[in-house]
Chain A
Amino acid sequence: MAGILAAAAYVPFFKIERAEMGRAWGIPSLPGERAVANSDEDSITMAVEAGLLALQGRSPEQIDILYFATTTPPYAERQCAPIIAAALDLPHQTVTADFTGTTRAATLALKAALDAVQSGAARQAMVVAADMRPGEPQTTWEQLMGDAGAAVIVAAQAPATIRAFTSLTGAPLGPWRRPQDRFVRSFDARVETEYGYVRTTVEAAKGALEKAGVSPQEVSRAVLYTPDFRSPLEVAHRLGLERRQLQDPLMMTVGNAGAAHVLLVLAAALEEAQAGEQLLVANYGDGADAFVVTLEGEVQRPPDRPTLAQLLALRRSLPNYGAYAALRNLAGREGPKASASPVTYWRDVAMELRWHGARCRACGLIQFPIPRVCRSCGARDQLDEMPLSHRGTIYTFTLDHLYAGEYLDTPVPRVVVDLEGGGRVFLEMTDCDPKEVRWGMEVETTFRCLHEWGGYHNYYWRARPLRIHMPRR
């Protein structure tokens, strides 16, 4: 049966204790911490991280569809999925679409992906979801939200089958954001919780369980959309689920990851679940989606990829609210301005997004950027484009204090990296303590937004200490 072949989660390196946020504003704080995207991360880059992890050990050639789900697309006009598809090095023929406008976007994308593989229209379809919902400063929203990404690959035959997909469309009651709004807006949360979230989610979940012929007692794990700490418990109660049946909603460690939340928690559940388990998944947002996942086997995870629990342990706490405000640029600081040409960007997409170099047919040297004339033997136009490894070793480096104004970490480590299997590149490092940078240090590439020169997002790769074990290729 159709279902999930692979799943992966991505959570940013930085976290902030909610107590720091409460302290900064003199308001009560929620318990735990939330994940905070670095200043060079956005929903596209987090989707790429999760997508690369899900693809580990798999051929991108099998992926016929890529759907991207988010409520925070970095572009209002310009589809995001093709950028993600290129960074994942998916084939040019991949069908892409963005699902947005609601936190339910990921399960709506999943439904479309399932329909496609079930109908035979696609061999494998990938859904990547990532979100960094802007919570208004000095409110609970700011503490509740957490930035994260998740990805699943679905196929007609898969170990985690998806059954009884049930969808309900909802009335306009939940949170909203107009184009001119900087932060998520909402009405009195109690109204939405009862008439929106709880009632709609329960109805959809009940429908799915009935359709699948699964009793509440048979549910081993319930993966619920979690807008806050308390209301999922009410959903569970009305569904006849006990608290122990609830999968950790990751509110103490990540926060509400918006459109990515349910896939994130599902990815965590699939890491722990064993064959024979029945999972209930329910998502919410302008309606609700619910389905049952039956584990006919286990969803395989490459051995060197960290589990979500391990990923959460690879972290750094922001020292204070100021550091968080700097990452989100709440002060509205203007960074260095320079021009950039969309044409240059477009022309070099194979290098910038796909992370391709070239190998000289005459002398074998792997080179980046891709030249016309081999920089070693001088052969012309004999360079075959090829994917570069996402892992390498630092040959030399500096810690540059100039032009560092945009980053949390000053200085900026700039590193010359010898990639595994060949090719030498020059990258900036991110998500690291500059003091730990050393010659010979193992690093991996991470997809980031470098700057906004030219008024568009300049996505490219940075290096970080080998941490998440990105694919070698």
Chain B
Amino acid sequence: MAGIRDRVAIIGVGCTKFGELWEKDQEDLLVEAAHEALEDAGLSPQDIDAIWVSTFYDFTGQSGGTATEPLALFGKPATRVENFCASGMDAFRNACFAVAAGAYDIVLVCGVEKLLDQGSRGLPTAAFHPSFLAASAPGIFALAASRAFYQWGWTKEDLARVAVKNHRNGAAHPKAHFRRPVTMEDVLNAPMIAWPLGRLDCCAVSDGAAAVVITRPEIAKDTRHKDDYVLVKANALAVESIQPYYRSGYDWLGFPATRAAAKMAYEEAGIRHPRKEISFAEVHDCFTSTELFNIGDLFLVDDPKDAPKFVADGLADIEGEVPINPSGGLKCFGHPIGATGCRMIYEVTKQLQGRADGLQVRNPRLGLAHNLGGPGAVASVTILARRD
């Protein structure tokens, strides 16, 4: 596979404040994120050749019109992408292909989700079979955490350390939904949502939007970020069973989709020793246990069952060997589904450019973003680096 390594450049990023944004709708959020990205790129809306927009829920928006309408960019090619919770990063991936192919010069990728209008008590369920599937998102991911408790001896404390670390990072990020550090006691004493996941093991229901402007490197050289545009080193997507509950033999110890996407991405980026070469990672910590699984599935530890030790030893801290979720992750930003993947690209880009909104990772070279969707079924891994 030829891949798109070094053929796409990020020249502008934008992100709204995430949170319970009762007074804003998806139009407000999308306009704010997209215009911030365009300003960052030094471009105007009319410079955009095409748009990819991601929303998960139909109530947030259907069709490419979800972006063209609020941006008043009529007559342009625009496509909506939906791929579970990885929708945002998959919109980015499809847009990258269009740019790498030379079909368009300047492309806007944006993602938005307006969840709070549906209430804050968990994600609205979209059961696609009235009998076979009716579990909450925490209930689904808890099935994996539960098995790791049984088979690998993971504990509530192992999970809580992830929450404490991510909240420590998120407290410093002005755009995060939650900006309050939490203690081990806070996490361990939080009400149970889906055993073994308590309330502080779960990311919140939040509103938000993020946007990215991409182009080809030769064009990037003439833009505002000509000296520090960010190159796409790899972008891979893998879709595993969306009914893992029924997969005989599936061990529920991590998510095969992430492992498959990571292998593809590492190969495309030429990475042999992820733990040594990846400077930091924004990973999909929809639940604290999911971050632990991600550390294993992204091959940042030799044995996936040792992921809790990686965190406990401080290796995932902002000053650690591979800082994980320097932004605070989904734990602090919440998870407006269509927006999350784009928000990760936003964060990794700014970290690589040395202008992180919150805690800055020291001298990063390669940044990884990992977006996971459905019951661990859809995984997207993107690897970015600043231009040489």
What is A's interface to B at a CB cutoff of 8 Å?
A: 338, 340-341, 344-345, 348, 351-352, 365-369, 375-376, 395-403, 411, 414, 416, 418, 422-426, 428, 439, 450-451, 453-454, 458, 460
Contact = CB atoms under 8 A, between A and B. Distances in A.
B195 A439 contact: no
B130 interface: yes
Nearest to B245: A426
Given A345-B130, A348-B131, A426-B133, A396 B150 contact: yes
Contacts of A338: 125, 127, 130
B195 A398 contact: yes
B156 to A, nearest CB: 14
Interface residues on B, range: 35 or more
Interface of B: 121-122, 125, 127, 129-136, 138-139, 142-147, 150, 191-197, 241, 243, 245-250, 252
Contacts of A426: 132-133, 135, 245-246
Contacts of A458: 130-131
User: Chain B binding site: helix, strand, loop or mixed by DSSP?
Assistant: loop
A348 B131 CA distance: 10
B248 A460 contact: no
Question: Which of A352, A398, A400, A414 neighbours the largest number of chain B CB atoms within 10 Å of its CB?
Answer: A398
A424 B247 contact: yes
Nearest to A418: B248
Which are the 10 A-B pairs with shortest beta-carbon distances?
A426-B245, A398-B142, A402-B136, A400-B139, A340-B130, A399-B195, A396-B147, A460-B131, A439-B150, A424-B248
A435 B376 CA distance: 27
B125 A403 contact: yes
B130 A368 contact: no
12 contacts: A338-B125, A365-B248, A375-B247, A395-B252, A397-B143, A398-B142, A398-B143, A398-B197, A400-B135, A402-B122, A414-B143, A416-B245
A344 B130 contact: yes
Contacts of B121: 402
Contacts of A423: 248
Given A399-B194, A401-B192, A458-B131, A422 B146 contact: no
Contacts of A376: 248
B192 to A, nearest CB: 6
A403 B136 contact: yes
A451 B130 contact: yes
B246 A424 contact: yes
Contacts of A348: 129, 131
Nearest to A450: B131
B246 A425 contact: yes
A211 to B, nearest CB: 49
Nearest to B123: A402
A400 B125 contact: no
